[in-house]
């Protein structure tokens, strides 16, 4: 099996590769060739080095997508994106990367199939940002996509294209509408949702974190571990059970900022909580205020996707996976 991972240097891409390295059969077969791509050259885990080819490529540049698809990968993970805050701040970059690059990938697949039969599986990283207010108390699978951010709009357009290219038989597609991934390891990024991780990750390491929104803000979360599980499950799922509505809301956990902080105090104590500094940011508040807060992901659950049950579990996963079980604070 040939596998292509676009966005392999990002957090989800790296963790996906770690999971594949640890469990070689997780994608449903032996990997003969693994192509890893990002705007900076990714690194393959040692266990995959013998089959991996790592490339620094911007998918939105002319010919980039066609060059990747020329090798006819059987399974493609499209994880690359300009994140929410950056897509809102840089309109042109957001559309170039999140839409133009993705459209080029779909077209490259279609055109490759014109010379000889070719129908790969494409697993696309979408977002619950495709949905926009006003929201019901719980959002079900039938709720329509009316995004209120540029990022959400770009993801929603890609979802429609993915479904249409799948309907036409050019590929087998499935879109994963990710909750906010928390706790994200590493340094803060440009995502408007970044503070949700910052107020947990930084205090756990004994560092101060800024909270730009009110404690009452409610959001939809999943751990990096479960997010990777979504993609590996989607890679092997019987898509006949999914049907034409191939973009799925993923399971997650609905929690307020206050509940996040309470879970942090339970796990790490009051000293960690004291490192959170409240500093309201109207721009961030405006973006986050347009996002969904709670879901009923019935279809995904029926298809076998799973996530955490409480926020303490999410914090403990971060401590185990990123801090070797130790709390710096």
Tell the residue number behind the tokens 């206050």, with chain if given: 258
Rounded Cα distance, 13 and 224, in Å: 10
Which residues 6+ apart lie within 8 Å of 329 measured at CB? 203, 204, 205, 206, 268, 269, 271, 272, 275
| Token couple for 308 | 């955490």
| Token couple for 147 | 């995004």
For strands 218-222 and 253-256, give the pairing: antiparallel
| Token couple for 169 | 């038989």
Rounded to 5°, the CA angle 318-130-124 comes to 65
Query: Does the annotation mark 95 as catalytic?
Result: no
Q: How many CA atoms lie within 13 A of 38 on its CB side?
A: 18
Cis geometry, peptide bond prior to residue 55 (ω within 30 degrees of 0): no
Q: Which residues are catalytic?
A: 151
């Amino acid at each position: 099996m040939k596998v292509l991972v676009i966005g392999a240097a990002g957090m989800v891409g790296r963790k996906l590769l770690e999971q594949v390295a640890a469990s070689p059969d997780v994608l449903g077969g032996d990997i003969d060739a693994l192509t890893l791509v990002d705007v900076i050259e990714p690194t393959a885990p040692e266990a995959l080095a013998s089959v991996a080819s790592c490339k620094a490529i911007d998918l939105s540049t002319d010919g980039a997508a066609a060059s990747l698809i020329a090798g006819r990968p059987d399974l493609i993970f499209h994880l690359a994106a300009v994140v929410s805050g950056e897509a809102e701040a840089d309109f042109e970059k957001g559309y170039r990367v999140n839409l133009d690059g993705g459209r080029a990938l779909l077209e490259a697949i279609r055109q490759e199939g014109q010379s000889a039969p070719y129908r790969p599986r494409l697993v696309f990283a979408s977002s619950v940002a495709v949905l926009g207010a006003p929201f019901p108390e719980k959002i079900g699978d039938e709720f329509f996509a009316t995004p209120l951010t540029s990022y959400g709009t770009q993801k929603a357009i890609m979802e429609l294209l993915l479904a249409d290219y799948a309907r036409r038989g050019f590929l087998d597609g499935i879109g994963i509408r990710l909750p906010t991934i928390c706790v994200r390891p590493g340094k803060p990024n440009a995502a408007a949702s970044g503070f949700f991780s910052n107020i947990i990750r930084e205090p756990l390491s004994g560092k101060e974190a800024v909270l730009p929104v009110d404690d009452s803000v409610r959001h939809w979360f999943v751990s990096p571990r479960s997010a990777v599980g979504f993609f590996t499950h989607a890679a092997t799922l019987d898509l006949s059970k999914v049907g034409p509505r191939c973009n799925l809301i993923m399971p997650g956990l609905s929690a307020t900022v206050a509940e996040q902080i309470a879970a942090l105090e339970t796990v790490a104590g009051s000293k960690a909580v004291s490192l959170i500094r409240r500093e309201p940011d109207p721009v961030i508040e405006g973006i986050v205020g347009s996002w969904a807060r709670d879901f009923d992901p019935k279809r995904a659950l029926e298809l076998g996707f799973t996530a955490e049950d409480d926020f303490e579990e999410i914090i403990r996963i971060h401590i185990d996976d990123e801090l070797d079980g130790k709390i710096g604070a």
